[in-house]
Amino acid sequence: VWGLPKDAWAGMTGLGDSMSPGSLSKLVQSEAPAFRARFHERTPPAEQRYWRGPVLWQTDGRNWSTGSLELLPLLTDPGPRRNGAAYDYSITLEPHNKHWLLALDLPVKLSIPAIRTLDYQMLAHRPVRTRTRYNGSSLTRIDTGPLNSTLRTAALQLPDGVSTRVQDLARSWREHSSRDRGVVKQALTHFNRQDFVYTLEPPLLGSDPVDEFLFVTRRGFCEHYAAAFVVLMRSAGIPARVVTGYQGGEYNPLGDYWLIRQSDAHAWAEVWLSEGGWQRVDPTAAVAPERIEHSLDTAGGAAGAAASFRLPDSDLLGRNLRKLRYLLDAMNNQWHEWVLSYGPQRQLEFLASLGIARASWKHMALALLLLTGLLLLGIALWMLLRQPAARDPVQRAWLQFCRRLARLGLVRRPGEGPRDFASRVTTARPGLAGRVNAITELYVALRYGKPSDHPAINATRLQRMVQRFSPRQRPG
């Protein structure tokens, strides 16, 4: 009635359209579910379970943003050339008040209306403020083809005042390798061999966060590694961008789906190479390979300490608690899918399961009319088949006799027996006594007496007596 306040949806948890040092490390402290995914046939291995969200292009050295999203869908898209395994899956996305529709990297289509941008973001037409279900299809590798000048310029943008140390490091890799792929390999080797630490509690960074992270603190979360890697690649003349989303997830065997929590939030990089186009590079995996195989343990640790990861419970109590957690989440998921989330989308899925291909509202209306018609036809047939049997001739003759008397105002009362009725009639009309008593006694004998030797003859006799009976006829 009064309308929603402007910040009614502000409390929803999820990825934003920007990233800065510490933004994702705060998000992963939440154990709230981000979405659930069920693969239809085969499941990709852990190193391919990257769930794509916002793609970040522009930076001022500290903050990263998506840039001009409204321009990306309008650019000419030559279409991807398939170059990897395909996976089909279903996603139940929790509301997050943004346009992102999370999908396995790299998505090629979704079952609901969505905009696919040139950087392979899937965007809903409206902010996702209710639980949303959709099917998706993704490829593990896509040859994205040549890079147009607009995107190349955006992918090489550098903030003002990139430090000399950062530029010199990138220049040294370029001097050792003329090929972009070789520069990428040297960068990953640098992160792997130097004393970098992957931590949930990185130290605060000053005015030049990339320089301080690379040469002073060397402690950071995934957003630090992704941002620094992209700046280094751009400094070496290689188009690059930051991708945020989720990585991994926990499999629930009782519900046969993957639960991806906010604690699985992740950031990685993509570089454009002449052979194959955009390709994913995860510098975090060079520092902490366990991050790809296991989910983070978000329990608090000392500032700057290396992050720990969840390992399978080995004790009996831990295994039973994990099974209980799986059971509760599976029940909660079924409740959401079949009760709370039942609506037009679930109706369309139900029609599709009945064999109505590409179910639409038109198909739904036709199916509803058909089912309603069949239901009404079945009810009509059932009612016809259950019609009461026709009254026997004795009863039919007696009722006809009663109707004729009713025309004289002598109406048989409910529950009044034949002889009582006859007595009341003869008292009121003594001239009819003979015929009334004869019909009544014959009816009582046929209806309540012992079976006669010739019941058909007696019944016929009763019918004839009633037909000849005329209450207005005076006796002769």
Catalytic sites, residue numbers:
222, 266, 282
Strand partners for 363: none
Using alpha carbons only, give the angle 309, 313, 314 rounded to the nearest 5 degrees: 125
Find where tokens 């198909």 sit: 363
DSSP output for 295-337:
-B--S---TTPPP-B-----SHHHHHHHHHHHHHHHHHHHHII
What is the number of other CB atoms lying within 10 angstroms of the CB of residue 65? 18
Q: Are 239 and 155 in contact (CB under 8 A)?
A: yes
Give 185's contacts (C-beta < 8 A, 6+ positions apart): 177
Phi/psi of residue 227, nearest 5 degrees = -65, -45
What is the number of other CB atoms lying within 10 angstroms of the CB of residue 438? 14
Q: How far apart are CA 462 and CA 339, in angstroms?
A: 66
Structure tokens at 163: 């430090």
**Dihedral-angle region of residue 355 (phi above 0 means left; psi in -120 to 50 means alpha; beta otherwise):** left
> Residue 183: what residue type?
V
Phi/psi of residue 150, nearest 5 degrees = -65, -50
Strand partners for 252: 257
> Residue 320: what residue type?
N
